[in-house]
Amino acid sequence: MWYGLFKNLLFWPVVRFGFRARIEGEEHIPRTGGAILASNHLAAGDTFVLPAMLHRPLTFPAKAELFAGRGGIGAKIVAWFLKAVGQVPLDRSGGRVSLDGLGPVLKVLSDGGMVGIYPEGTRSPDGRLYKGRTGVARLALAAGVPVIPVAMFDTAAVRTRTGIPWIRRPRIVIGEPLDFSAYAELHDDRNGLRWVTDEVMAAIQDLSGQTYVDAYGTSLKSGSLSAEEADARVLPRPGYGTPAPELPSGGLS
């Protein structure tokens, strides 16, 4: 109930008529059934521009600690909002995301819901596309659902004359679904997960036209990777030169 109220009474009118957002390719999203929307991540505005423009509800995994509501009234409001609009916790307390930590997200997919993922794991530090985390592949292979690539454009807020941040003419492009069902047995295979993730990121790059850097965006943000080192890791596409893994026994030929 709360999801529909917030979307239809607040987010959709602002995004569609205030920001004048546009969406292309929504026909690629199945009308029913579980699916993962994997998008590039340019700005904070991505997280409400995308779901506001979709006909189907979209669930984003959020850090599990945000649901606890610890840290004052602001944290309690955030926790209430996340729960009210049906978002789910992602448990990364053990470091690398495991299938156990993905349990609530897998439940959304098995129930026929749609989940939004930013495989880069952080907003791009410079507008380029960075290496994807393999959680998107682990989800897709474990749940047996398609991955739908998404490219976001112009979602960064700018200052208006009134001083209020505003987003001007953001655009969303949705690509054709990617089917990795033949590789389902590789849901815990490191090389298989990396290949699937790179294929998802390559599909996003095809839509966005971004330059690809074969390094995690968090490395550049933390300072463990310099701008010069990032420039040296530019590749034509994710997974460049890496062959597809062999199909598991019993897979499609």
Q: pLDDT band at residue 3, thresholds of 50, 70 and 90?
A: confident
Whether 82 maps to a domain, the answer reads: yes
Predicted pLDDT of residue 80: 67
This prediction has a pTM of: 0.89
Domain that holds residue 226: 2-11+33-155+177-235
**Interval 66-100: pLDDT, tens:** 666 677 787 677 666 666 666 776 765 444 555 66
Q: Give 5-61 pLDDT, tens digit per residue.
A: 778 878 889 999 999 999 999 999 999 999 999 999 999 899 889 999 999 999 988
Indicate whether 205 belongs to any domain: yes
Question: In the chain, which ranges are continuous DSSP H helix?
Answer: 2-6, 12-13, 46-52, 73-84, 103-110, 135-143, 190-208, 217-222, 227-232
- Within-domain flag for 74: yes
Mean pLDDT, residues 135-150: 95
168: phi then psi, degrees, rounded to nearest 5: -110, 115
Q: What is the pLDDT of residue 251?
A: 52
Sign for the pseudo-dihedral over CA of 148, 139, 95, 50: positive
Q: Which residue has the tokens 């996003």?
A: 204
Pairing of strands 165-166, 129-130: unpaired
21 in a structural domain:
no
The C-alpha atoms of residue 198 and residue 195 are separated, in whole angstroms, by 5
Higher local confidence (pLDDT), 243 or 24:
24
Q: Would 251 be classed as within a structural domain?
A: no
Residue 113 placed within a domain: yes
pLDDT digits (tens, 9 = 90+) for 146-173: 999 999 999 999 988 888 889 999 999 9
- 129 inside domain: yes
35: amino acid identity, one letter: A
Torsion of CA 15, 18, 21, 26, to 10 degrees: 50
